[in-house]
Amino acid sequence: MEAKLRNYINGVWCEEDGEYLDVMNPSTGELLTKVPVTSGKRVEEAIDAAAAAFQSWKSTSMSQRVEYLFKLHSALEARKEELAQVIALDQAKHIKDARGEVARAIQLVETSCALPLLVRGDKIVINEDVDGEIVREPVGVIGSLAPFNFPALVFGWFVPFAIGCGNTLVFKASEQSPVFMQKIAEILDEIGLPKGVFNLVNGAKTVAETMLDSRKIQAMTFVGSTRVGKIIAEGCAKTGKKAMVLAGAKNTLIVAEDANIDAFIENFINACYGAAGQRCMAGANVVVTAGIYDKVKERMLKASKNVNVGDALDEAVFMGPVISEESIKRIHSYIELGVEEGCTLLLDGRHLKLPEKNKKGYFVGPTILEGATADMRVVKEEIFGPVVTLIKADCFREGIKIINNSEYGNGGAIFTESGKTAQIFLRDTNSGMLGVNVGVPASMPYLPFGGTKGSLLGSQIKAQGMDSVEFFTKRKVATIRFYGDDNKIETSDSDTCCIIK
C-alpha cells in the first residue's frame, strides 16, 4: 500500500504538502498508510473543478453518462475481491461482510444504470391549446461526506446516481477508512470519466466546513452521527443547499411470545454483532416477552459466547474489531454506565484472548447487559459497538413504545408467527425501516433507505431508488401554449416535415 494517500482533483492525482493523519489497521493496531488533511484552499480547487465540469457534463446525453456507469459496473466486478480486502484492512469489517458490502455497492451501480427509465419528465394536455410539462435537470455540484463504517455502500448510494443524473461531485472519504475511495477514484480515472466530474478530497473538519460555506455547491449528502448531521443540515439551510442527512440510530428487536426462537437467534447474531455493531441498522435493544424470556436469554448467551472474534481477514472469524482505540474507550464507558444504571453484566466482551499479532488491535467482544429499562441511557443512546441491552417485557407493545419514544427512527424488527401481531407492529411503529422476522431490515437498492426523526435530517429525502432521483435532480414546470391556425399547417410533398405558412 502507498505510504501516503492522495487527492484526486480535476482528473489529476495530487500529493499534499501539509499535515497527514495515520490510517491504522484495526485488527493489528499497525500503521497502514497516511491520509492528507486537505486545506480549505485545495477543497475550493476541487469545487471549482466540479463547477467547471458541470457545464459540459449536464449537457452530456443520458445514454453517454450511463455508458460510464456500465464501465464502472464491469470494473467493480473485475476488482471486487481486491475492494473487499481493502475494506477488511482499514475499516476492519470482517472479510465476509466486506464482500457483501461490495456486492451491494455493485447492485446499486446496476440500479443506477436504469436511470434513463427513472429520470424523465411528465407531460399532460391541459386543454386543446395548452400543455403542461415537468422537466428534470441535474442539481449541480454535490458535496459528499462519508462515514468510516460503510465506504462501499455510501459510494454506491451517492456517486453513480449523482453522476448518472448529470451532477458533478466533490467527495470526502472518512479519514479512518479512506483506502476504498482511493481505489474508486483509480477506477473512475481508468474508465475515462471526464475531468472534474468526480473529485476526491481527504481530510477532516476543514473539508466539510469549506463545502458548507461554498455557494458553488448546490447539495450535500452526509452519513454519520445525529450530532454532526444537525450541523450539516443547519449549514445547508443557511446557504440554500439541498441536504440528504442519514444520521444516528438505536434499533430495537422485539421477540413476541409466539416467535420462532431458532430463527430469532440466527438473526440476533447477525443484527447485533455483524460489523461489530458498527452500522446504523445494528440491533441494540432486545425486548423479550415474559413467557419466553428465560429460554431466549439462555439461547442468546450461549450463541453470543460462540461468536468467533478476531482478525478481519481471517475467514474463520465472524466478527472483527471496532474502528479505533477511541471507539473502545467509548464502548467500555457505556458498559460501565449500564452497570451503574442497574444492569447485570450477563456477558462482558472487554477481556478477549487474542493471537499475538492482534493484541494491539481494537477488539470488543459480544456484550449483554441484562435488566435494562426504557429510561436508561444505555437503552436510549447510540453505543455503536457489539453491546446488547436485554429488556424483559409483559407484552410486545412495550417494545413498540421503546422504539416510538426514541429520538431515533432508523429501524426496528419483530419476531412473531402471528399475522395480527406483525400488522400491529407495522401499523404502530414509528421507524423508517421495519422488519418482520428480519433482524436487519435494510432495503434493497431499488427501494428507499433511511429513517425518521433524528435518523433522517435535512431535506427528508432518503437514499436509493426513486428517492435518489428526487435528490439528485431538480424539476422545472412549464406551461406551454402555441398560437396559430391549424388550417395553415400543411404537409410538404415529401411528407417528412410540417411547414407553417
pLDDT digits (tens, 9 = 90+) for 423-477: 999 999 999 999 999 999 999 999 999 999 999 999 999 999 999 999 999 999 9
Asked if 92 and 312 count as a contact pair (C-beta separation under 8 A), the reply is: yes
Are 63 and 73 within 8 A, CB to CB?
A: no
**β-pair partners for 135:** 476
Please give the Cα distance from 361 to 122 (Å, whole number). Answer: 55
pLDDT at 501: 30
Q: What CATH fold (topology level) applies to the domain 7-247+455-479?
A: Aldehyde Dehydrogenase; Chain A, domain 1 (3.40.605)
C-alpha grid cell, residue 53: 465540469
The side-by-side arrangement of strands in the sheet containing 387-393 is: 344-347, 367-370, 387-393, 283-289, 251-255, 411-415, 433-436
What pLDDT is recorded for position 151?
97
Residue 484 confidence (pLDDT): 72
pLDDT of amino acid 488: 63
Handedness of CA 58, 117, 200, 456 (dihedral sign): positive
Mark whether 280 is an active-site residue. yes
Q: What does the alpha-carbon distance between residue 402 and residue 380 come to, in Å, rounded to a whole number? A: 9
Contact call for residues 152 and 172 (beta carbons, < 8 A): no
pLDDT of the residue at 483: 86
CB atoms within 10 A of CB 117: 7
* Whether 439 contacts 283, CB under 8 Å: yes
Q: What pLDDT sits at residue 495?
A: 47
Taking the CA atoms of the chain, what radius of gyration do you get in angstroms?
25
pLDDT of residue 499: 33
pLDDT in tens, 115-148: 998 887 788 898 988 999 999 999 999 999 999 9
Fold of 251-436: Aldehyde Dehydrogenase; Chain A, domain 2 (3.40.309)
pLDDT score recorded for residue 120: 78
User: For residues 41 and 167, what is the distance between their CA atoms, to the nearest angstrom?
Assistant: 22
Closest alpha carbon to 286 in 181, 366, 193, 185: 366
Stretch (H or E) spanning 106: helix 95-112
Write out the chain's pLDDT in tens, 501 residues: 678 999 999 999 999 999 999 999 999 999 999 999 999 999 999 999 999 999 999 999 999 999 999 999 999 999 999 999 999 999 999 999 999 999 999 999 999 999 998 887 788 898 988 999 999 999 999 999 999 999 999 999 999 999 999 999 999 999 999 999 999 999 999 999 999 999 999 999 999 999 999 999 999 999 999 999 999 999 999 999 999 999 999 999 999 999 999 999 999 999 999 999 999 999 999 999 999 999 999 999 999 999 999 999 999 999 999 999 999 999 999 999 999 999 999 999 999 999 999 999 999 999 999 999 999 999 999 999 999 999 999 999 999 999 999 999 999 999 999 999 999 999 999 999 999 999 999 999 999 999 999 999 999 999 999 999 999 999 999 999 988 776 665 555 544 443 333
CATH 3.40.309.10 location in the chain: 251-436
Burial of 127 per CB tally in 10 Å (0-12, 13-18, 19+):
exposed
Catalytic residue among 165, 236, 272, 280: 280
Let me know: does 152 contact 83? Beta carbons within 8 Å.
Answer: yes
Distance spanning both ends of the chain, measured CA to CA: 71
